[in-house]
């Protein structure tokens, strides 16, 4: 009985670790995409306002 409970507990820990890793990857991907979108919006708005954003 002890080993059955321990086995189920250990299986639950593995699932929680994988779920946490998956959530971290999703959050990182969302953050990078949001940062890219904000940068593109800022670039286009500043271009529409006539600011020169060319690199030297």
- 43 vs 1, more confident: 43
DSSP symbols for 9-56 = HHHHHHHHHHHHHHHHHHHHHHHHHHHHHHHHHHHHHHHHTT------
- 6 vs 46, more confident: 46
- How does pLDDT run across 14-53, given as a tens digit for each residue? 777 788 889 999 999 999 999 999 999 998 999 899 888 7
Residues 56, 45: Cα–Cα separation, whole Å = 20
The reported pTM is 0.63
Give the per-residue pLDDT at 56.
66
């Amino acid at each position: 009985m002890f080993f059955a409970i321990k086995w189920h507990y250990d299986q639950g820990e593995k699932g929680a670790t994988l779920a946490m890793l998956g959530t971290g990857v999703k959050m990182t991907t969302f953050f990078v995409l949001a940062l890219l979108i904000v940068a593109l919006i800022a670039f286009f708005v500043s271009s529409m306002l006539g600011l020169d954003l060319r690199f030297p």
